[in-house]
Chains A and B, each alone.
Chain A
Amino acid sequence: MSENKTTSVVLCGVGGQGILLASEIVAQAARIAGYDVKTNEVHGMAQRGGSVIAQIRYGKEVYSPIVQEGTAAVVGALENIEALRYAQYLAPDGLVVVNSQMMVPVTVSMGVAAYPKDAQERLKAKFPNLVYFDAGKIAVELGNVKCANVVTLGAVSKALDLPDAAWKEAIEISVKPKFLALNLKAFQAGRDYK
């Protein structure tokens, strides 16, 4: 097979966490940077608190809107176990960014399944290239827990070769004006996280 120069990004988490907005920002940033872009996302049933995955691909010419397993440059997860669920998409040298906030699935609440107690250890053992942080806490400190998605995205952005100006413009066109300042701060907080 010839060399695949397309960059693939996978974002995942739980329906309602703002994965589609984060996906939109990546796609717009890639478009603004001059790339061909394709994205794919989950609609309908899975949005009701289910597991959600969004995929973004950019490059000179992109064919498939969905990512082949083992090829994503970065997997960004808004929830611990969702990173473990979609691990197969990651390229061997890819980065994983995980928001450490737990969202307990209803299967666990009902007692028919268990939330792995060692989720954090598993993540650290599995992914050599891992950023693991409490994006929700950072979001609360910035004034709104709902921007944890953009905080996480800021950390994801470090794995992508898109210029700062493209990110800024992408955020400007993707969020409502009254939340713009908050989201720009949230993105920077994630990008600055060490």
Chain B
Amino acid sequence: MIKLLSGNEAFARGAWEAGVTVASAYPGTPSTEILEAVVNYKQDIYCEWAPNEKVAFEVGAAAAMAGARSIVTMKHVGLNVAADPLMTLAYLGVKGGFVAIVADDPGMHSSQNEQDTRNYAKFAKIPIFEPSSSQEAKDVIVYAMDISEKYETPVIVRSTTRVSHSRSLVECRDRREPNEVGFEKDPPRWVPVPLWARPMRVKVEERLQKLRQAASASEWNRIEMRDTKLGIIAAGITYQYVREVWPEASVLKLTFSYPFPDELIREFAAKVDNILVVEELDDLLEQHILAMGIDCLGRDFVPGIGELSPTRLAAVRAAYEEGKPAQNKFEPDTDLPGRPPVLCAGCPHRGVFYALAREKAVVTGDIGCYSLGTFKPLNALDIILCMGGGISMAHGIDKAKNPKPVVGIVGDSTFFHSGITGLLNIGYNKGNSTLIVADNRTTAMTGHQDHPGTGKTLMGEPTTEASIAEFGKACGIKRIRELNPYDLPEAMKIVKEEIAADEPSLIISKGPCVLKEKLAIGGIHEVIEENCKECGMCLKLGCPAIEGGSGKPKVNPLLCVGCNMCGQVCKFNAIVSKEDS
């Protein structure tokens, strides 16, 4: 059966075909849709959202130690969170197949940094696979599971944004019978106390040698001979760009890309006159080939910053051949207004940011929708580092005796991800910062995934609804308040009071994600032109439904959900609900 699947849907299908029975993940673009597709197989695969990637990784690892096949999925920065169990799982190994699908985001379409996950495979001394299409994404999971079981090693499958979010045709197959499960007690195998960890260390090196030969022999790495003047080495999506831009060149296509297949690289090098290495982000392969004593070109021509594309590679080709890049007939206009992502019309975070922006405080923030509060006109965030960092960084600035008060912000999903430990630190170490959880009862930015606070599992079952306030109490925070972000005077009053308080406080700002609920909060608003003095106060909300720029503002009825924040900031009663007027 042939289906048009995204790379992420194909990974999920591959897991099902490979006989996977356990899947755990924390959502993160571009990896999110993998588990959202796995849940379609919930009768065969137990799947869950874990509160963070470290937990997901540990769940999957343990399932594989007991003999099951398991997958865990995350984005590149998520693997940093899971790096601790990764490095030791490489020593313990697994019994059932274990694949971590890690999606990199070259070009930072939706991420706070660019990082090349291949470094982690090298660091942990485990194999990595890089598919270049949805078909390969599906098939490679089955193959990676076999390699994982044969060599008793955890395996990484590296995706990138363009593999995860591209759709292409996939021929689907049946499901393999799942493994028998039964954990066998064997402390020297599973317990890395120094006595037993030292021999594990030796086994890791021996395994890496065997894997290097397996990579050279693998059908997943292939030499495509065409013209012998130029041979290009590429892995992952860059293979597809290379085929597009250099259709006549010979190619060494790597999918089982680490350990580097030395024998195959030597064989290819002997067949072509020149070698060009085309790799996205870091130059791991190029440096390795040079260290093998084989001459090649790469980073001198291929950019190491940002995402590659056929357009960029066409320029690389032109530079390599010392020609001139072809001129586009149509150039984009350069004076167009930017169209940055914004908090949605009616987003409850807007109210709390509006209140915060009116205080003289340093605000440490977090990733997620509310990172959009950084931009004009809200200007409400001063620092963003990583998930959960909004809370712990506030404490750092507080303890540095910063002259201005400090406020830390996280979302509800981020709070459960890794905010709780930071809050516990503040309670324990006598901090004095104000923490705000912007609680919209979902993981909004990645597309409304459930989390421990939503009362629902990924497989759709009702469950315990974790209380942020109770966690606050347990962490030793005594001042805990809720606010309604749609009530601007109340929000401003509470934020002011808590910043002034002489002890740490936790504010839970509660309002639903309007994009998820798709519910109107009130009547659609309109501007009564004779009352409008063009003072611009309503525009300071940064609401996409209020269109300004020239003359009196207008409310776009297609976008307005009737939250009435604009009505509250207008001193002249010029913005009202149509139902009231």
Contact = CB atoms under 8 A, between A and B. Distances in A.
A68 B244 contact: yes
Interface in B340-385: 340-344, 369, 372, 376-377
A37 B30 CA distance: 21
B311 interface: yes
Interface string A120-131: 001000110000
Nearest to A80: B336
Contacts, number: 188
A31 B333 contact: no
Given A27-B4, A43-B165, A108-B548, A64 B244 contact: yes
A146 B332 CA distance: 27
B110 A107 contact: no
Contacts of A189: none
A128 B234 CA distance: 39
Interface stretch (B197-205, B322-330, B466-474, B521-529): B322-330
B462 interface: no
B181 to A, nearest CB: 35
B344 A49 contact: yes
B109 interface: yes
A92 to B, nearest CB: 4
A44 B445 contact: yes
B330 A87 contact: yes
B168 A105 contact: no
Interface string B307-324: 001110010000000000
Interface in B539-581: 539, 542, 544, 546-549, 553, 556, 558
B162 interface: yes
Contacts of B133: 38
Contacts of B30: 43-44
A42 B105 CA distance: 12
Contacts of A41: 165
Contact of B336 (A92, A116, A127): A116
Given A65-B240, A112-B376, A70 B329 contact: yes
Interface string B206-247: 000000000000000000000000000000010011011101
A138 interface: no
A1 B248 CA distance: 8
Contact of A110 (B169, B330, B377): B377
A1 B321 CA distance: 13
B310 A107 contact: no
A44 B167 contact: no
B343 A88 contact: no
A105 B337 contact: yes
A122 B331 CA distance: 12
Contact of A109 (B33, B169, B311, B549): B549
Contact of A88 (B330, B338, B446, B544): B330
Contact of B29 (A45, A50, A66, A111): A45
A104 B445 CA distance: 22
Interface in B508-542: 536, 539, 542
Interface string A148-184: 0000000000000000000000000000000000000
Contacts of B369: 48
Interface residues of B, number: 62
Nearest to B369: A48
A142 interface: no
B448 to A, nearest CB: 12
Nearest to A70: B328
Given A64-B310, A70-B326, A88 B341 contact: no
Interface centre among B32, B326, B338, by most chain A C-beta atoms within 10 angstroms, is B338
A92 B29 CA distance: 35
B340 A108 contact: no
Nearest to A4: B244
Contacts of A104: 547-549, 556
B565 to A, nearest CB: 14
Nearest to A90: B330
Given A105-B337, A109-B547, A113-B337, A45 B445 contact: yes
Contacts of A14: 339
Interface string B15-28: 00000000000000
Interface string B103-121: 0000001100000000000
A7 interface: no
B461 interface: no
B168 A85 contact: no
A43 B34 CA distance: 13
Interface string A89-121: 011100000000000111111111111100000
A46 B109 contact: yes
B575 to A, nearest CB: 14
B463 interface: no
Given A2-B248, A106-B340, A111 B110 contact: no
Interface in A16-44: 27-28, 31, 36-44
A62 B168 contact: yes
B168 A114 contact: no
B537 to A, nearest CB: 13
B274 interface: no
Given A88-B328, A111-B539, A126-B330, A45 B110 contact: yes
Contact of B162 (A27, A37, A40, A106): A40
Interface centre among B2, B339, B547, by most chain A C-beta atoms within 10 angstroms, is B339
B166 interface: yes
A50 B32 CA distance: 20
Given A64-B240, A85-B332, A38 B549 contact: no
A86 interface: yes
Interface in B278-330: 309-311, 314, 326, 328-330
Shortest 3 CB-CB distances between A and B: which pairs? A44-B110, A44-B29, A65-B166
27 contacts: A31-B169, A40-B166, A43-B447, A44-B30, A45-B29, A46-B341, A50-B340, A64-B241, A65-B167, A65-B237, A65-B240, A66-B162, A66-B309, A81-B333, A81-B339, A85-B332, A85-B333, A88-B328, A91-B329, A105-B340, A107-B338, A109-B539, A109-B547, A111-B539, A114-B337, A114-B549, A116-B336
Given A41-B165, A48-B343, A68-B311, 6 more contacts: A1-B245, A48-B344, A81-B339, A91-B329, A105-B338, A109-B548
Interface of A: 1-2, 4, 14-15, 27-28, 31, 36-51, 62-70, 81-82, 84-88, 90-92, 104-116, 122, 126-127, 145
